[in-house]
Amino acid sequence: MSNDRQTPSPEHRRPPELSDDSVSAIGKVSEALETIERARGHLYSFHQLMGHADLQLGEAVDELRDAGHTEQADRLQAEMIGRNAIDGRWSFQIVEEFDDLYWSQFRKHEQLVREELQDGKRHVFEAEMKESRRTHNMPGHEATP
């Protein structure tokens, strides 16, 4: 096995002056962003589920009407189909507001912290964890591809 696969790549090595505490703290900022990314994914799932449910309800209303239940169909049509998920907003507007107000700002701040303290490098904490946990010179435990 060549030695170049046994050394972490430069983009994952900490700047020489950076302390363990700093690497840990920056790693926690990045981990928090990863959690926000997951939350954003759930928000997009919510958005898609809300849209799908509204279409399903539309089909149900059509079937109620076809079955002669016009009062119930009319009520659901008027009061529920196309209804806002929260005050004044459909789910796409919730997603857009989250993206603009929080997610995009968090991404900028996380990147700024990494640029200011860690030469912009990503996943330094994780790379060091990998280096400490892998079995050196063992196949399947290489530092890099």
The answer to whether the beta carbons of residues 119 and 15 sit under 8 Å apart is: yes
Q: Tell me what the mean pLDDT of segment 120-137 comes to.
A: 95
Residue spans of the domains in the chain: they are 17-133
Cα-based distances in Å from 97 to 52, 106, 122, 128, 139: 21, 13, 27, 36, 47
83 is written with which tokens?
Answer: 């209804």
pLDDT in tens, 43-96: 999 999 999 999 999 999 999 999 999 999 999 999 999 999 999 999 999 999
